[in-house]
Every structure is written in structure tokens, then in C-alpha cells.
Amino acid sequence: MKDIAVIGTGYVGLVVAVGLADLGNRVTGVDIDDVKIAMLNEGELPFYEPGLKDYLEANIESGRLDFTRDIAAAVVKSSVVFLAVGTPPRRDGSANLEYLESSIDAVAEHAPSRTLVVIKSTVPVGTSRALGERIRSRRSAAGIEVVSNPEFLREGRAVQDFFHPDRVVIGAESEWAREILAGIYSALRLNEVPFVCCDMETAELIKYATNAFLATKITFINQMASLADKVGADIALIAKSMGMDGRIGEKFLHPGPGFGGSCLPKDIRALASTGDSFDVHMSLVKSVIAANEELKTRVVMRLKELLGTRIRGLSIAVLGLAFKSNTDDVRESPALRVVADLLEEGAFVRAHDPQAMDNFRAVFPDISYCASGHEAMKGADALVILTEWNEYRSLDFNLMSKVMKGRILLDMRNVLNSRLAREHGFVYRGNGRVIKELIQSR
């Protein structure tokens, strides 16, 4: 059992704090937000993540987990400090390390000798080494060591990913540091989770390379879906066949309106910026960034094609505001661009999402938010599905035909049964699954 401080209780930090406590450690989570700290100590989550609340409550009740605003008190009693503060993008796409540096300064001031500092935040290559030097410049004799331990948590599946990761990456300079961190994760070794031990720079780039490749894979299948639309091919079968190839794999081959969230957009911009700083032109990564933004703009263009008229004055139902299902996160969500484009075209928007409406309302307070998907459809001239929530897969076409004014369905996630939609009189357009009749009529 270790005494551990986790600085930062955002999405990554909170999952890490709860997970480490459940592995048997005594963990103190640290944040500057008094309201959030009070909420967490009461067992309440500041965001939606399936399964996390049960683990939070259980570990608070066990006495292994608590939260505080006092970073000094948390650090001074800990032998290991995890840093999971945000590294938001600057205007040029580079990572803002201001919060990380201030946290490191607090650690340097208060940490006991022989403390291990674990960088969980996603940082540009060379940052962990620079932070170690920053600590040594303040306390050269303390023996405080910095290691890189990037996270690979998927929103909506974070609990599963923490306890059953594909791998654990440890970027460390000394055997002592590697043994400490491996010991903390020893329960995962029992599950035969692979451990990748390397230098800090390699660990940092593993994180960025992983996210950049996933973003590239998503963008590729989205562009293939656009081409499938034009030629009358079926992107579902294309993706399924591609996934059968062991060199490619089936994951991240599901077309949509573009990727979003707190990680992929930010991280690939930071990777492109890092390349520029080392005079390496990351042309593929930059193309992915541009292509993803262009994909978001195509949603309203497709809708206008289906409507055959201007959108001004029409009522559009938008189902799905989170960037993906099983989360309330709307950061960089394609829905932000789609709704903005619809409003600019003069449309009236009626929106629904099972979890993300409060967060979306902070950006667009004046659109209509509805209690259910079917309520959002009332009087709508067209329906757009942007997020693959399971409840949208079972929408009642009979009810839809009664409450909707129009018959246009634009399904960017391919969650609806196209045959049933057409049988109920709807003009259905999937993403890369355009019906043959539409192709032949062009």
C-alpha cells in the first residue's frame, strides 16, 4: 500500500485516483475547485462516466480515498504524486503547460525526499525531463524523480480501461522508479497486462502517436463513407471487410460526422506543433486535422441536398450532442459545428441528448432542449442523428411519422434500420450507405 496524491480531478485524474484507491492504495485527490472537492467527498461525480460512481463511493467509504484543496497537505504525506492536470491547447495548437508547471513547483516545495512524480497529463516530448530538471533546480538533494506514465482511457469506458488496459507504459530513468510504479500496478500484472518500459521521451511519443493514428483511422473511414455515398457502395461492408485484415483491425472503423472530445483534437494539434518545433513537417497529421474539420461542415451540406431547399425557417431535430455515446462531454463535438451551421442558415433547432444537454446549453443557451428524442422530432422538417446512443437505435418509426412534419432522416452514425425507415415513408440517408434508388435518380 502506498500513500499517493493525485493532483487534478478532471476526467483523467479522477479515474486514476479512484482506480489507484481500489487497487489498495491510500489516495488523496487534489483540485483547486472547492465545489468539486465538496461534491467528490460526498460521492458525487462532476461528469458522467458509467460505473465510476460506484467505485468512488466504495473507496470513500473504505477510507482509502478522499479529496482536498490543500496541495501541500496531500503532497507532504505521499511517497508518490500523480500529476493529471490539464494541458489545454494554445492558439497555435501547442500545449499550455502552465498548470503542470505550477503543480510541479508545489511538489518541489512540499514533497518528502525520494518522492516519485508520475506525469499522467499528456505532454509534448521532452516535458517530463524538463519538469525533472525544474524540480532539481529547486531541491537538488531531495532525490525526487519524474517518470512518464501516459493514460489511454476512453470516455465512456474509462473504468474498464483502467483495470483492463491494453498495456501500461512506464518511461523512467532508474530501476527504482520503474519498480515503484510497477508495484503500484502489480494487480494488473496478475491479469497479464503487458508492461512497456522505456525512456521518458519514448513514453511521451507513444501517447501522441497512438492518438494521432486513431484520429487518422477515423478520418480515413469517414472520407471513405463520403466516397461510398457518391458511388452507391456500402461503407458498413467495406469497414467490416477491412477489419478482417489482421494488419488493420476492426476498431475505429465506424463512420460518423467527425471526431471530437478532449483528447484526439487537442493531441494531434500538439503533435503537429511539436513537429514544427523540431523542424519535422507532420504533413499527414495536419491533413487529418483539416479533413476532420471539413467533415463536420458537410453534415449541413448533406441535409440541404436532401431538403432540396434552403433551411431558413425550417425546424431541425438534432439527436446526440456529446462527441460520442456514454459521456456528457461536448468538447470539440461535431454537434457544436452542426448546430452553429444550422443556426447560421436560419433553422430552428430542437435537440436531445441523454447526458450532454446541460453542457451543450452552456454554449447554445437559446435552442430548444427536449426531454426525449421523440419530443425533439415534434413538428420537425428533418432529423439528424449525430451520436450513437443506443436509445436512438430503437426509435419508433410509427410515432416518428405521426409527430414529424417532414420525412427527411440524416443518420450520420448509421444507427437506424434504413429498410424500416423507407417502409414508413421516410427519405433515409445514412453515412456511406446511400440507397441505390437515390444513386440512380441522380
The pair phi, psi for residue 240, each rounded to 5°, is -65, -45
- Bridge-based pairing of strands 382-385 and 315-319 is parallel
Alpha carbons 323 and 360: distance in angstroms, whole number: 11
Supply the DSSP string of 118-132, one letter for each residue. Answer: EE-S---TTHHHHHH
Rounded to the nearest 10 degrees, the angle between the axes of helix 283-307 and helix 200-231 is 30
- In the chain, what's the furthest Cα-to-Cα distance? 77
H and E: helices and strands count for the chain: 19, 14
- Which one of 197, 198, 263, 370 is the catalytic residue? 263
User: Using CA atoms, how far apart are residues 44 and 429, in angstroms rounded to an integer?
Assistant: 41
Please tell me the distance from the alpha carbon of residue 1 to that of residue 18, in angstroms, as a whole number: 14
Exposed / middle / buried, residue 71 (Cβ in 10 Å: 0-12, 13-18, 19+): buried
**Cα dist. 324→172, 333, 359 in Å?**
34, 8, 14
DSSP conformational letter for 39: H
CB-based contact 168:96 (threshold 8 Å): no
Do 107 and 8 contact (CB within 8 A), yes or no? Answer: no
198 catalytic per annotation = no
Positions marked active-site: 263
